[in-house]
Amino acid sequence: MPLNDPTLETNWTEADITINGVQLNFGQSMALRVAATNFHMQMSDLAALGDDESGRRGSSKGYRERLSEVLKLMIGDRKR
């Protein structure tokens, strides 16, 4: 688990994230969570990936659904 950031006076922790066998540290995990959250918000615009049927119904919707699943895993029980 990434350690709590020692500069913060909270019980906040980030998700345990391992990429290709390398465990991310606190800042890297936070950066990934923020990026995923931002992309999820951008995909709320149905025309974010194009104003055609493929962009509106296919790609944007699919990204939102998958990112919702990932963010639930990342944000779940962060106070440990």
Residue 51 — very low, low, confident or very high, per pLDDT cuts 50/70/90? Answer: confident
- For 62, the domain range is 18-75
Q: Tell me if 80 is assigned to some domain.
A: no
How far, in Å, are 12, 16, 21, 56, 77 from residue 28 at the CA level? Answer: 14, 10, 14, 31, 18
Q: Tell me if 1 is assigned to some domain.
A: no
Looking at residue 76, its pLDDT comes to 79
Count of structural domains within the chain: 1
Rounded to two decimals, what is the model's pTM? 0.74
Average pLDDT of the chain to the nearest whole number: 82
Instruction: Mark 21-41 as b/e (b = at least 16 C-beta within 10 Å).
Output: eeebebeebbebbeebeeebe
Residue 80 — very low, low, confident or very high, per pLDDT cuts 50/70/90? Answer: very low
Return the SS3 of 9.
Answer: coil
Q: What is the average pLDDT across 62-79?
A: 84
